[in-house]
Structure 1
Amino acid sequence: MTTTTPTAADFRSEWAAWHDAHEAARASAHGFLAITSIRWLTGTPERFDDAPGAWSTSEAGPVVTLDDGESIEVDGVAVTGTHRFGPLPERSSTTIAWQDGDERVLIEVARRGGSDVLRPRHPSNPTRTGYTGTPSYSPDPSFAVAAHFEPFDTPRSVTVGSVVDGLQHVYEAPGVLTFDLDGPRSLLAFNGYGDGLLVLFTDRTSGVTTYAANRSLDVPAPDASGATTIDFNRATNLPCAYTPHATCPLPPAENRLDVAVEAGEQLPA
């Protein structure tokens, strides 16, 4: 069997296609740039200027009570009066729709750090309409490094901080990724999409040319021998780099790399 190594031109082309798609998703009509506020729900019903109804929550989950003439769309069905969402699992969310004049607004109802939150997404939000793109380092094949996944005997629950003071997130870590990048390195890996892995990290560029709090990277599922590739060229900013209405996690302490990872997304423009 013959393995073909991508040329530098192919590598750049594949990265450009990936990055263009990532930027398009980020700037989509109801992406996180469209979020106009984050509302921490309490037991007292409250009305907000960017969402319909009066909102509250309890152990039974979030509730919205709509006034006469107000309606929302839940799973494609128009709803009036009072709607109960039921208890939400941690880090889960559900999305409803609201027609605000000529604008279709999506409203995320979510559970974060033990609290229920509301985040309306208005396509006309200036954070979205004024977005001009995120600069990135030029793609460099030397930052796509071979890695080995070393699983734990039992996955570990890992608590990390958040950009929101006092808020914590809990992730399941199945193991550690080891690799060489100007010396031996390792990253604690969390469960990612499908069978893939997720890493949150900072490095010597953090707060200098890249976002200070964190960067995120999806890693392909390791093969049977534990082999995979960490492509730092695809390191991305989390929503907290763009909006104050985010609850992004911070990297675990062991994921602060003592090397300059001059690859991936840089500080937002």
Structure 2
Amino acid sequence: MSTHTKSATHTAAALEAFDAEWQEWHAAHERHRAHPHGFLAVTHLHWLTAEPTRLEGAPGTWSLEADVVRVVLEPGESLLQDGTELGGSVQLGPIEERGGINLVSGDTVIEVAKRGGEYIVRPRNPANALLQDYQGTPAYTPNAAFAVAGTFVPFDEPRSTTVGAAVEGIQHVYEAPGEIRFKLAGQELTLTAFNGYAPGSLSVLFTDQTSGKTTYAANRSLSVVPAADGTVVLDFNRAVNLPCAYTDLATCPLPPAENRLPVAIEAGEKIPYERQDQK
């Protein structure tokens, strides 16, 4: 076998492995998205106020005062918290920003959370039509050209960064520990990074020149893990939609202005079937 043939075979094998790893990752991500009590199961989005109110999809009368949620349950009504049955007058909180408490009522998980400084209640029921009818999310064919090397450059001090939200009237504030510099399509580019959910990971919210055309207009998200020396791999094939791409009952953050990329990233998840008529 010639050196050229060996090289071509090696390249083909590497691309095949790249594709297989992506398929496995995306299948796992889809399973997580379609969890019986995931965001596709959200039936309502309620904003709590001081006025005691009965909420559709949840038992009890709900109100908010001094950072504490109060639920008054009538005889015959109950909620479970970590397996413990609650009844009568129940107090919950305070809840930290982006934190939440899950309560159970029959088949429904009731999320009590704080988003943009406001308290929300979101019942999640597996029978919700959005979840029942979910067909999966279309995505670009994996392309190794969109897995690019970059460098994470930490700021001298983390920067508080305020961004808008998918829901009007609220804002999110994130700590940005630094920025990621990389090159794509012949351009030197930079993305502001926020702290990710997993320790040591970073989360990048962005739009690009496909946004609103083949990919969701408001945002996509990419998780990266810098090495000790700051090197990162930005694999845009693993760019995913946030919950707001599927439902109006989500409070997802929008990317900071500097993360609106001037290139077309034809990789990762596309506009969900559920939003195809809203391009």
* Counterpart Cα distance in 2 of 1:78 and 1:224: 46
Deviation sequence 1:2-22 (CA, Å, 0-9, x none): xx9971011011000110011
Hey, what does 2:111 align to over in structure 1?
Answer: 108
Hey, what does 1:258 align to over in structure 2?
Answer: 262
Within-5 A mapping of 1:1-269: 7-99=14-106, 104-182=107-185, 183-192=187-196, 193-220=198-225, 222-269=226-273
* Counterpart Cα distance in 2 of 1:58 and 1:205: 44
Moved over 4 A (4+): none
Aligned residues: 261
Shift of 1:166: 1.7
Shift of 1:254: 0.3
Aligned alpha-carbon RMSD (Å): 1.2
More helix by share: 2
Calculate percent identity across the aligned residue pairs: 54
Shift of 1:60: 3.8
Match of 1:176, SS state, is strand
Task: Give TM-score, length-normalised by structure 1.
Answer: 0.95
Task: Give TM-score, length-normalised by structure 2.
Answer: 0.92
- Residue 221 of structure 2 aligns with an amino acid whose one-letter code is S
Match of 2:189, SS state, is strand
Match of 2:267, SS state, is coil
Deviation sequence 1:16-41 (CA, Å, 0-9, x none): 01100111111110010000010000
* Counterpart Cα distance in 2 of 1:177 and 1:85: 39
Shift of 1:196: 0.6
- Residue 188 of structure 2 aligns with an amino acid whose one-letter code is P
* Counterpart Cα distance in 1 of 2:82 and 2:54: 23
* Counterpart Cα distance in 2 of 1:92 and 1:130: 29
Uncovered stretches (5+) of structure 2, i.e. residues with no partner: 1-9, 274-279
